[in-house]
């Protein structure tokens, strides 16, 4: 991760859905990304989690991730649940902690809290025919920043596995 972070990418994906890492490894991976970036060009660490789970979201974001990629978001309700788990009140329901890596262990808590909702990136994956049909409405949910097509899952769910034509 450290070497990859130094290459100069804008963002890096840490995959906890299909990758070989785990929540137990995440903090070390995030530290490697954050410390490995060149001065002024640290890549934003984005973490893909297995599902919308508020406890996992809180752990990932408190550990210093810049955003989360949520798989299988097919409806506006799915998207709204992702946003709610990611954002602090009044935009969401994420719990608040002061002495976490994301706040530099409390040294910049006020600034962090005032800007966290704007800086946290919500990436939702479009991987089902229903998600394709609902893409415009999903994109319109306040707090959804990126729609990311999951090509392999989408091709399987469209019953044309691995056919991207």
Domain boundaries, the chain: 49-157
Report the phi/psi class of residue 114: left, alpha or beta, with left for phi > 0 and alpha for psi in -120 to 50.
Answer: alpha
Concerning whether 33 is annotated as a catalytic residue, the answer is no
93-102, 111-120, 124-133, 154-163: range with lowest mean pLDDT: 93-102
Whether the CB-CB separation of 157 and 128 falls below 8 Å is answered with yes
Tell me the mean pLDDT in the region 139-147.
98
Residue 97: DSSP 8-state: -
Main-chain dihedrals φ then ψ at residue 126, nearest 5 degrees: -95, 110
pLDDT beyond 90 at 53: yes
Tell me the mean pLDDT in the region 69-87.
98
Question: Look-up: residue for tokens 């920043």?
Answer: 145
Whether the CB-CB separation of 74 and 130 falls below 8 Å is answered with yes
The 3-state DSSP class for residue 13 equals: strand
- Of the candidates 2, 11, 18, 89, the residue annotated as catalytic is 18
Residue 96: DSSP 8-state: -
Closest CA to 72 of 125, 17, 138, 141: 125
CATH classification number, 49-157, choose in 3.60.15.10, 3.40.50.300, 3.20.20.60, 3.90.1010.10: 3.20.20.60
Taking the model in full, what pTM does it have? 0.91
pLDDT beyond 80 at 84: yes
The DSSP bridge pattern shows strands 121-126 and 44-48 to be: unpaired
* Helix-helix angle 23-36:54-62, to 10 degrees: 30
Query: How much is the pLDDT for 42?
Result: 84
Tokens (6 digits) for 18: 């299909």
Question: Look-up: residue for tokens 């319109």?
Answer: 140
CA count, 13 A, side-chain hemisphere, 14: 30
As a whole number of angstroms, the longest Cα–Cα distance in the chain is 52
Mean pLDDT value across the chain: 91
């Amino acid at each position: 991760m450290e070497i990859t972070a130094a290459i100069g990418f804008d963002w890096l994906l840490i995959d906890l859905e299909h990758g070989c890492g785990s929540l137990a490894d995440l903090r070390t991976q995030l530290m490697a990304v954050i410390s490995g970036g060149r001065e002024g060009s640290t890549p934003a660490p984005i973490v893909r989690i297995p599902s919308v789970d508020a406890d996992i979201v809180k752990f990932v974001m408190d550990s210093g991730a810049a955003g989360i990629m949520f798989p299988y978001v097919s409806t506006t309700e799915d998207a709204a649940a992702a946003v709610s788990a990611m954002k602090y009140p009044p935009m969401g329901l994420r719990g608040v902690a002061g002495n976490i890596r994301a706040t530099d262990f409390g040294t910049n808590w006020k600034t962090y809290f005032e800007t966290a909702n704007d800086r946290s990136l919500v990436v939702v994956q479009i991987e089902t025919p229903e998600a394709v049909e609902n893409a415009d409405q999903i994109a319109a949910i306040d707090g959804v920043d990126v729609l990311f097509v999951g090509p392999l899952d989408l091709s399987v769910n469209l019953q044309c596995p691995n056919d991207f034509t």
